[in-house]
Amino acid sequence: MTTTRAAVCTAFGAPLTIEDLHLRAPGPGEIEVTLEAVAICHSDISYADGIWGGDLPMVFGHEAAGRVTGIGPGVTGIESGQRVVVTLIKSCGRCANCAAGKPTICEGATPVPPKLTRADGTPVVAAMNCGAFAERVIVDQSQVVALPETMPAESVALMACGVITGIGAVVNAGRLRPGEDLVVIGAGGVGLNAIQGARIAGARRIVAVDMSEEKLAIAREFGATHGVLATKGEPWKAAMKALGRGADLVAVTVGSTRAYDEAPRYLGWGGRMVMVGMPASGAMSQYEPVIPAYMGQSFIGSKMGDVVIARDIPWMADLYEQGRLKLDELVSGRWTLEQINEAIADTKTGGAKRNVILFG
C-alpha cells in the first residue's frame, strides 16, 4: 500500500482539504497511474456542491493524465511508464451495451474494494471511478488510452472528458452531417469542443449561445460563425435570423433547466436536440410535446459524447498533432494541488475554459 496526497471533500459546499491517504495496490484488471495533470470540470464542482448527493469523504477529479506505475493481474496491452489519459468511462466489455459499441452506458461493471483509506482505516470514495484530485489513482484498464509523448500532459488530460464529451455529442450522438446548421448553448469547456467538433465535421453554420460576450468571442476562435447573447430578449429568434431557418442540431452543454426549456425553440423541422449538460437531481424542465411530434424532432441524451475511447481518443490526438484540434488554447490556468480551492473558485466565476492542476 502506497501513500497519495489528495484533495478530499469532507462536507458538501465546503473547501476541499489536502490529506495523505493510503492507496491500495492495483487488483485484477487494474492499473496504478501517477498523475501529471488533472483538469477541473464543472461536474466535479457540482458534485462537490452536493447537487447529486453521494457518500463522504470523497475525492473528485476525472479528467487526468499520467504515467503507468503499477499493473495488476490480467492487464494486457499496457506497459509501465506509458503516458495515458485517464477517463471515468469504466466498461466491462461484455454487457449488451458494450457489445453494441456503447461503453459509456455499460451495465456490467462490478463493485471493487475501496481504493483510498485514511490512516484510521476510514474508506474515502474515489468519485466517478477515478478520484483524480490526487497524486496517484487506481483505475480499471478499460478507462485509459496511451497517448504520444509529444503531447503536453495538460492537453492529454483535457481529452478525458470535456473534449470527448463536446465533440462526441455532435459527431456521435447528434450525427451531424456536412452542411447542417448547429446551435451550441453554452460556450464553456464542453461547448467550445462541440463547436470545434462541428467545424471538423463540416457544419455549414455554427451559432454559439452564451450569457457572456467574452465567451462568445472565444467561441468564434474555435469555429463559431455567429454568436448570440442569451441575456437579450428571445435568443432563439436571433439564432434563427442568423441561420435563416431553424437549426438541424442543438447541443445543450450547460446544466441549466432554463436552457433545456428554451432549447427546442431553436430547432427546425426534423431537428435534433442533444442533451449533454446535467442539472441537479430533481430539477425539472418542460416543453410542449405536440411540437416535436408534429415537426418530427427528437431529443437525444448523450453521456460522455457516446465515445469509444480506444477509437475516438487516438483520432482526436491525431487531429491535435495535425493542428486541426485546439487543446492548448483550452487551458486557462495552471495550479498546484495545494491551490485547488483557488482554482475551483476561479472556475466558478465562469471566465475559465479549463483550469488544470499540475503535479510534480
pTM higher than 0.75 = yes
CATH of domain 2-159+327-358: 3.90.180.10
Question: In the chain, where does the domain assigned CATH 3.90.180.10 lie?
Answer: 2-159+327-358
Which pLDDT tens digits describe the chain residue by residue (360 residues)? 799 999 999 999 999 999 999 999 999 999 999 999 999 998 899 999 998 989 999 999 999 999 999 999 999 999 999 999 999 999 999 999 999 999 999 999 888 999 999 999 999 999 999 999 999 999 999 999 999 889 999 999 999 999 999 999 999 999 999 999 999 999 999 999 999 999 999 999 999 999 999 999 999 999 999 999 999 889 999 999 999 999 999 999 999 999 999 999 999 999 999 999 999 889 999 989 999 999 999 999 999 999 999 999 999 999 999 999 999 999 999 999 999 999 999 998 877 788 999 998
Span 166-303 CATH architecture = 3-Layer(aba) Sandwich (3.40)
Give the dihedral of Cα atoms 274, 277, 283, 285; nearest 10 deg.
Answer: -30
Distance CA 250, CA 203 (A): 12
DSSP state of 24: P
Location of each CATH 3.40.50.720 domain in the chain:
166-303
What residues have CB less than 8 Å from 309, skipping those under 6 apart?
Answer: 85, 87, 89, 103, 143, 145, 164
